[in-house]
Amino acid sequence: MKAVNELIVKIVQLMPKSLVRLFASSYIAGDTLEEAVALVKKFNADGIMATMDVLGESISSKEEALYAKSQAFEVLDAIHEHQLLANLSIKPTQFGLLLDEEFCYQQVRDVLQYARERNNFIRLDMEDSTTTDPIIRLYKRLRKEFSNTGIVMQACLRRTYDDVSHLNEEAANYRLCKGIYIEPEAIAYRTRQGVRDNYLKLLRRMLEDKKYTGIATHDDYLLAGAKKLIKELNISPDAYEFQMLLGVRADLRQKLVKEGNKLRVYVPFGKEWYAYSIRRLKENPNMAMDIFKNLFRMN
């Protein structure tokens, strides 16, 4: 099955982007902020929160970072205007992390200040392993001034438990995910069970240390393990939430909500949808098989 999925990914990358977009549309809210707002309103009506994200990363100029900041302001204004149950995720490389760390800090600080004035929250996404240290440095520096910020931690990385141990000293707020980037085995767990085991180890540490945690997974094994930990540690429903990707396992979303859990859906949008779609395709075998089936239906 893995070989089949990898073959499908290679085939998809040879397709015209317009065709890929047809398959990727379930995983992206649209090109515009208006489309994302409309979708978030539908989720909110069903008792589901959202994290909005303007797609894009690894910019090459400070002008692009300034534009990313202006887009973040627009999203925060829209959330405030429409009274959405939503916050904003940002990628540090989209704000100039790889160009100038001090410049990036100033841009993200401006966004956090803008969000605080609107009673909102900013999540710093984690990116590939070459950016882990500077993202953690950025987060720790911002956290000293702003409580309305959190960070993403990836269970695939071997270093993450130590990172969490240090961040827990600073009242961190987490989204815990498996991790989407393909990393060398020397620094990352490469087997499915290895990542799962580390995920639950990390989740236990976060919950035991009473850190608010977004449990981001669609894996039934991890969801069962998370529920077991929540019960075992007697964790308050206000101390965690479940998080899922747009377009993935809508049936499970409804089940979690019916069980009384807080749930947040990741709602990405924007014109830079292609790279995101390919990464998700590589990570998600179900998405690959959906495309495979749709190809046959089109013939």
Residues with catalytic function: 125, 175
In b/e form, how buried is each residue of 79-90, taking b as 16+ CB within 10 angstroms?
A: beeeebbbbbbb
- Which sign does the torsion angle of CA 184, 185, 187, 191 carry? positive
3-state secondary structure the chain: CHHHHHHHHHHHHCCCHHHHHHHHHHHCCCCCHHHHHHHHHHHHHCCCEEEEEECCCCCCCHHHHHHHHHHHHHHHHHHHHHCCCEEEEECHHHHCCCCCHHHHHHHHHHHHHHHHHCCCCEEECCCCHHHHHHHHHHHHHHHCCCCCEEEEEECCECCHHHHHHHHHHHCCCEEEECCCCCCCCCCECCCHHHHHHHHHHHHHHHHHCCCCEEEECCCHHHHHHHHHHHHHCCCCHHHEEEEEECCCCHHHHHHHHHCCCCEEEEEEECCCHHHHHHHHHHHCHHHHHHHHHHHHHHC
278 torsion bin: left (phi>0), alpha (psi -120 to 50), beta (else): alpha
